[in-house]
Amino acid sequence: MPKDIVSLHGDITLKRRYRRCVDCKQYSYPVDTIIGLGIGHTTGVTEFVAYTVGLVSYRLAKQSLGKLCQIHLSHETIGEIAARSAGKLSAAMEVTPALRREFQTAQGESEFQCDGTSVNTRNDEGKAEWREMKLLAFAKRPCGASASVFDWESRYLPAPSMVYAFAEIASKAEFQKRVDAARRQLGVGSVSSALGDGARWIWNIVFEVFGKTDECLDFYHAAEHLSDCGKVLFHTKATFDAWFDRMRLVLLSEGFAGIDRELQALESGLTKTQRTSVESLRNYLRSNADRLNYAERLMKGRSIGSGLIEGACKSMVGKRLKQTGACWRVDRANKIAFLASLLYAEQWENAWKTPGKV
C-alpha cells in the first residue's frame, strides 16, 4: 500500500511494500524510522510548523504555512506536530552540553529574573479559569559604565550576551524545581544578582535555589507604587509631577530610609484614604528594604530593572498565549510556551540541532 508524506517540496507518495503488524494492525517500513519518515512529516516540515506555532496562533500558522511554504495542514495536525516537537525538544535540551557551554563562555555577570502572568485555561471539567504562568530567565550581561542616580534614565546598559528563558503553569514547588534544574543545566552555582517585582514567592525561590545573593526590587515596579500613592495624595498634575520626580531620586539614592522619612513628614492632615495609601506604600517598600540598593548598582553598572522578564511576559507569553478568545489546556499551553521561549531567548538553533529531537 502507498504512503503519503508531507515534505517541504510538497506531498510525496511512497510506493513500496509495507509490512503489516498482526497485533497492532499498523503498516510500516523499517527504513522510514531511520530516515525520519515514520510520522508522515519530514524533519523540515516539523521544524517549520513548530517554529511558526511558537510565533503565532494555529490559524495564522495554517495561513503562513500555506501561503509561504505551500504546506497545507489542518489546525489539529499543526497543534499535534507543535506539541510533539516541544516535548521532544524539551527533553533533548535537558541533556545537551551546547546550552551550558554557551552560557559559561558568554561575557558578563550572571542574572536571574522571575515573574508570573495569568493565562486563560480550561480545567478538567471544561470550565475556563485563569492560571498563573511562571517565567524564569537566566542571562549573562556585561556591566555598563558607572552612573549616578541622576543618570538612571539616560545611562547605557549593555544588552545581555546570552539568555535562557522558560515558562510553565505550575505550583511554586514545581517551578522551584524547574529553576534549580535550569541552574544545574547551565552550570550556575550562584548568580551575581536576582531581580523581581517584589512577589514573596519569587524571593523565596531565589533564596531556596541560590542562597544569599544580591536581590534587587525592580525599580519600575517600585516607582509604580510611588506613582499610585502620589495620585491619591496630590490632585493637580504639577504638584504630583514635582513630588514624584523628587521621590524617585530619594528612592534611588537613599532607599527605604529616605522614603520613610519623606512619608512621615506627610502624615499630618491626611484623610483616611490618603493614610491607607501611604501605609500601603511604606509596607511594600519596607518588606523589600534590603533590595533597594539602586545607587550601589548604578555605580557598579548593573541593572536596576527586570525588563528582560517583563518583556518575556508581554512578548513571549502575552503575545502568543493571551490572544483574544484563547483558552488552553495546561499541558498544551506549557508546550507552546516552551517553543515561544526558545524563540524569545534565541535558542532555536541550539534546540533544533540537538540529536534525537524529532
Dump the DSSP string for 257-268.
Answer: HHHHHHHHHH-T
Q: What is the mean pLDDT of residues 202-217?
A: 96
Report the alpha-carbon distance of residue 41 to residue 243 in Å, rounded: 62
Q: Are residues 164 and 81 located together in one domain of the fold?
A: no
Residue type, 91: A
Q: Are residues 123 and 246 located together in one domain of the fold?
A: no
For residue 358, give the DSSP letter: -
Q: How many domains does the chain have?
A: 3
Q: Are residues 198 and 114 located together in one domain of the fold?
A: yes
Q: Are residues 75 and 188 located together in one domain of the fold?
A: no
pTM of the model: 0.86
Q: Are residues 197 and 334 located together in one domain of the fold?
A: yes
The set of residues, in sequence order, having a beta carbon less than 8 Å from that of 117 and lying 6+ positions away, is 132, 133, 135, 313, 317, 318, 322
Q: Are residues 190 and 119 located together in one domain of the fold?
A: yes
Q: Are residues 316 and 178 located together in one domain of the fold?
A: yes
Q: What integer pLDDT is reported at residue 271 of this predicted model?
A: 94
The set of residues, in sequence order, having a beta carbon less than 8 Å from that of 141 and lying 6+ positions away, is 108, 109, 111, 157, 158, 159, 160, 161, 303
Please answer whether residues 19 and 3 qualify as being in contact, where contact means their C-beta atoms are separated by less than 8 angstroms.
Answer: no
Q: What integer pLDDT is reported at residue 44 of this predicted model?
A: 83
Please answer whether residues 115 and 132 qualify as being in contact, where contact means their C-beta atoms are separated by less than 8 angstroms.
Answer: no
Window from 16-25, 245-254, 299-308 with minimum mean pLDDT: 16-25
Please answer whether residues 341 and 168 qualify as being in contact, where contact means their C-beta atoms are separated by less than 8 angstroms.
Answer: no
For residue 159, give the DSSP letter: P
Q: What integer pLDDT is reported at residue 33 of this predicted model?
A: 59
Q: Are residues 111 and 199 located together in one domain of the fold?
A: yes
Q: What is the largest CA-CA distance in the chain?
A: 91
User: Is pLDDT at 350 greater than 80 in this prediction?
Assistant: yes
Cell of 216: 534587587
Cell of 105: 563562555
User: Is pLDDT at 171 greater than 90 in this prediction?
Assistant: yes
In a domain, 304, yes or no: no
Angle between helices 58-69 and 43-55 (to 10 degrees): 130
Report the alpha-carbon distance of residue 209 to residue 201 in Å, rounded: 12
Partners of 134 in the beta sheet?
Answer: 116, 168
In a domain, 131, yes or no: yes
Report the alpha-carbon distance of residue 210 to residue 252 in Å, rounded: 26
Structural domain including 85 reads: 3-93
Q: What is the pLDDT of residues 324-345, one digit of tens each?
A: 889 999 999 999 999 999 999 9
Report the alpha-carbon distance of residue 67 to residue 217 in Å, rounded: 46
Q: Are residues 115 and 227 located together in one domain of the fold?
A: no
